[in-house]
Amino acid sequence: MIGERLTLQDIQKQYGLAWAVRDASVEVAAGEFISIVGPSGSGKTTLLTMIAGFEMPTRGTIRVGGKDITFLAPNRRDIGMVFQKYALFPHLSVRQNIEFPLRMRNRSQSGSARARVDEMLDLVQLRPFADRFPHELSGGQQQRVAVARALIFGPPVILMDEPLGALDKKLRESMQFEIKRLQESLGTTVVYVTHDQDEALTMSDRVAVMRDGRIEQIGRPSELYSDPKTAFVADFLGSINFIPARLMSRAGDVVTAQIGSGQIVTARLSREDGAGLEAGDALQLAVRPEHIGFNAAAAENAVPLEGRLENVVFAGATVMVFVRLCATGQTVRVQVPSLDLSLPDKGSAVALTLSAKTVKAFGGDKGGEA
């Protein structure tokens, strides 16, 4: 099974005067796993349902492998779909559920079809459960049946609408790797909608972040995490601190900013927010919790920040430390390995450090609100 290229060109969806999706253009390569994330109401599920054919776009073109499917009925698109609640038939066994797409295509009576079902049962490791019914399976097993049913007829594209949302955290993490393993072994093209940012970063070749019906940024997970184009993307993907500052000078996209009345920081300004900024304008300095450290002497080109330790939250391998900055009065989060640091008591004065190469600057008075 080899996936095919999926092309979305200038897709729009309007309900009355309200826009659900605006000018969405994405080129998904054959065999690529791309996730679509965004807050509720951002348009991600509407975009997925238009690809599936359950909704028709107001404008734009959808192509699979060069074939225009924009206005084809869902059953004529030959696209696989895994729903959030799996949508398994309760009166059919695991084998019969997986076989169902072949039956609908009049391909269920041949010996090769039976062999294909066995192949899929082995692929999702459910051969011993072939004669059980959905209510006799765990959530993870039901999810694997849904994936096998979507894969069995060899669709060029598979769509997944938050398929792991109903699972507990440990099982969800296990199934993330299981789905990625299946996708890579089969070379399937997958478009995956999720509200879980960590899930998207873990599973995807690329991630598209949506906001107010538009694609705010699309790129590799590491690119979006380390070099977000907007404050919204920075804030939406992972944990981040926004520290208010004032622009003192700039040379292209490199700025010198002042935090409060003291510390001077050099940072790289986002290209999306750089136009028209002048000395004295408000900035937001964005820095990930893991990029703030203690012990100024140990960091190269470090900028010291004084503060008071407010709280410490243990999270297994890491500790999240909350520190109130003296310069701004705000609380920032600092993430450190749980075994590497002996922390002072709550209320104690501490010295934090910022490294210029890990700080991103955005224009405006407020950080990216999701």
Calculate what percentage of the chain has a pLDDT beyond 90: 46
pLDDT one-digit tens code per residue, 281-324? 899 999 999 999 886 555 566 678 889 999 999 888 888 999 99
Instruction: Residue 76: name the closest of 57, 108, 54, 97 by CA.
Output: 54
Q: Report the C-alpha gap between 4 and 155 in whole angstroms.
A: 9
Q: How far is CA 156 from CA 75, 151, 186, 243, in A?
A: 14, 9, 11, 46
pLDDT one-digit tens code per residue, 42-100? 999 999 999 999 999 999 999 999 899 999 999 889 898 888 777 889 999 999 999 98
Joined tokens for residue 204: 């995807």
**DSSP H stretches of helix in the chain:** 44-52, 94-104, 111-123, 139-151, 169-186, 197-203, 221-226, 231-236
Q: Report the C-alpha gap between 138 and 144 in whole angstroms.
A: 10
Instruction: Residue 144: name the closest of 181, 110, 115, 103 by CA.
Output: 181
**What's the one-letter identity of residue 303?**
V
67-68: strand order across its sheet: 18-28, 6-15, 59-64, 67-68
Instruction: Write down all domains in the chain, each with its CATH number in brackets.
Output: 6-232 (3.40.50.300), 233-363 (2.40.50.140)
pLDDT one-digit tens code per residue, 113-126? 788 888 888 888 88
How many residues does the structure list for the chain?
A: 370
Q: Point out which residues pair with 292 in neighbouring strands.
A: 354
Q: How far is CA 50 from CA 21, 55, 207, in A?
A: 10, 5, 18
